[in-house]
Structure 1
Amino acid sequence: MSIDSIPTIDLSPFFTNSDENGQKKAIEIIKKACSEYGFFQIVNHGIPLDLMSQAIQLSKTFFAFPYEEKLKYSPGSDAPLPAGYRKQPDNSPDKNEYLLMFQPQSGFNVLPTNPPDFRAAMEEMFTYFSLTGVLIETILNDCLGLPTNFLKEYNQDRSWDLMSAKHYFPATETENIGISRHEDGNVITFIYQDDVGGLEVLRDGQWIPVVPSQAQGTLVVNVGDVIQVLTNKKFKSATHRVTRPKRKSRYSFSYFYNLQVDKWVEPLPHFTTQIGEPPKYRGFLYKDYLSLRIRNKTHPPSNPEDEINITHYAIST
């Protein structure tokens, strides 16, 4: 598999009703990408390029502040949600630091007033990411041949979405992993990375770099565990990681298009009983799965291979 095997799709046909052929072509490419490795990239997605560039530059300015200044925007130990500035624990090497933001109207966010325009840029980015999520969800619905608006009606509560601005420190002489290998537990994830790159996708035992293209405002898109279960593994939740280069910091924005926590998740009849296929997963409450994944972080197992992931609900065949 070559580097350019992760396709880039032009979404401009979806902003007009006159290019049905362009839409059909994009749907076929996305369908193939999700079936084979769960990742693709998009351009002409509707997020203004100047806003994306401004957000990255403001994030670099913020993360360059002294730690004491950034700490002013920490959510605190008693916060109901960890929205605000966070970093690695003091007893581990510096790998990354981040600013976490929930739905702007949630009231949980502790966002910077310095630099002055950063908060407004993050809120605007959040709004655009949310709209892009609705569009991609609609496209996935078409890719899967589901009834019109099925995924939208199943996942219509956007109050669970979150976004983070991340800063990855340069690699050390002995360690270069920013985020270790994992799969996303949500519905859809969007990543905007600077020109340093570092995002890699695992396929057939090989790590494939996702080469960034800031000039076009390219976004990386990957489907998460929820989509993998709903489609009975027709679409893949791909294993991926972030590596850190030496002597360079990496900056990115991640948007997690999530699911309401009390939703029931199980393979849809469209991909099981209706086509004579046995379900590959047993059903579960989404909040129960989230609790297991959070425990991976709060009480990490001594053997990383013992971390709980979506295979916890897999049905043996």
Structure 2
Amino acid sequence: MGTLLYAQAVPVPTLVEQGVTKVPEAYVCFSDGFSGEVQDEERIPVIDLLDLESSHGRQRIVGEIERASREWGFFQVTSHGVSEETMEGIVRAALEFFGQPMEQRMELFSGEPKMNGTRYGTRLDETGVQDWRDFLVVGKCHPLSEETFETWPSNPPSFRSAALKYCQEIRALAFKVISLASESLGLRPDRLEREFDPLDQLLLFNRYLPCPQPDLVLGVRSHCDQGLLNILLIDDVPGLQMRKNEESPWVPISTNRRALVVNFGDQMQIATNKRYKSFEHRVLANPERARLSISSFFNPAVEATIKPLPEFVDADHPSRYRPVSFGEYVKVYMARRLRKGTPESLES
């Protein structure tokens, strides 16, 4: 199967509108259905942040984050401070955006990744097996310039205000989580924040349309996130799965309408010298229902140097990674087509 085949792949929304009953070869990941054991009994931890302001409550929460980060790299948070109104507003705006005719969405189309801009797409790259989704990237949410804000979708009319409000409330939660994670590592509450200041922010809206042969495709291929932190809003349609290693079963991640999913990415693994790991995850397709997810990624600045913190490097724990800029890291990461794990070429 050559590059040309994949470059000419018909976008998923068009396939669904045409009523396709057989998945085109460009999207087929598994010829006989996807493999890998799934463990339905296990659940990622749920951490209630309600008691955060009391010393006893904070101590409990820090301990729960430490255990969740070591074992899972994923956890849910409740009482997180992002209002239900704000979450409903961004979901409504996203559904209205994806509900527009294809030609309107294509006004924001770009075939190339953009570090700071807005991009609508129906595939991540022009080669390799394609994901069964279409998506919208909105960046750079922070720091937000007037020029960048003007690249955000103007249709539906509510989109920009809904996205801005959501970004602001999610950013407050992100720094709360980063502070707690810092404490859970035995560091000062502001240690990770200072190390990664300034921390860029972007939104990724994924829409997964129904698939006639869901066991042959993936909504998103298995990967680890490249940044420091992701905060994820998902609906009640199942699909997201994670696993602890290649021998472990896949664990489905579901959530209630008020919870948010948190996971750490490669930069947390590098900063902690692998004390906390970036865990592999993927998204399955659904035969009947569309699914929406909204990711809020928090990444180092492009020019920032990434390396293990000195607190986690000593004679017994030598540095596992060589210093590089985050921009260089992203280039290596993308060249590997999102394959799981930090790139071996960046290890010491």
Which TM class, normalised by the smaller chain length? 0.7 to 0.9
Q: Is the 8 A contact 1:183 1:240 kept in 2?
A: yes
1:310 corresponds in structure 2 to 343
Change (3 A) 1:67 1:268: same
Which of 329, 332, 338 aligns to 1:289? It is 329
Which of 146, 165, 168 aligns to 1:127? It is 168
Q: Is the 8 A contact 1:296 1:308 kept in 2?
A: no
1:103 corresponds in structure 2 to 140
Q: Secondary structure at the match of 1:25?
A: helix
CA RMSD of aligned residues (A): 2.6
Q: Secondary structure at the match of 1:34?
A: helix
Q: Secondary structure at the match of 2:59?
A: helix
The yes-or-no answer on 1:20 pairing with 2:58 is no
Q: Is the 8 A contact 1:199 1:240 kept in 2?
A: yes
Runs of 4+ in 1 over 4 A off after TM superposition: 1-4, 75-82, 89-94
CA offset at residue 150 of structure 1? 1.4
Change (3 A) 1:258 1:80: closer
Q: Deviations over 1:100-127 (max 9, x none)?
A: 1113423235322322212211111111
The yes-or-no answer on 1:178 pairing with 2:215 is no
- Report percent identity of matched pairs: 26
2:30 corresponds in structure 1 to none
Larger CA deviation: 127-136 vs 106-115: 106-115
1:146 corresponds in structure 2 to 187
Q: Deviations over 1:6-37 (max 9, x none)?
A: 111111222x3xx2111111111110111112
Unmatched segments (≥5 aa) in structure 2: 1-38
* TM-score normalised over the length of structure 2: 0.79
- Tell me the distance in 2 between the aligned counterparts of 1:28 and 1:98: 36
Q: Deviations over 1:161-194 (max 9, x none)?
A: 1112221122231523111111111000111001
The yes-or-no answer on 1:52 pairing with 2:87 is yes
Change (3 A) 1:185 1:78: closer
Which aligned pairs between 1:132-211 and structure 2 lie closer than 5 A? Answer: 132-158=173-199, 160-173=200-213, 175-203=216-244, 204-211=247-254
1:300 corresponds in structure 2 to none
- Tell me the distance in 2 between the aligned counterparts of 1:237 and 1:93: 23
- Tell me the distance in 2 between the aligned counterparts of 1:249 and 1:35: 33
* TM-score normalised over the length of structure 1: 0.86
- Tell me the distance in 2 between the aligned counterparts of 1:269 and 1:78: 33
Which of 271, 277, 285 aligns to 2:317? It is 277
- Tell me the distance in 2 between the aligned counterparts of 1:29 and 1:2: 22
- Tell me the distance in 2 between the aligned counterparts of 1:22 and 1:111: 39
Unmatched segments (≥5 aa) in structure 1: 298-303
Q: Deviations over 1:222-248 (max 9, x none)?
A: 111111111111101001111111111
CA offset at residue 67 of structure 1? 0.2
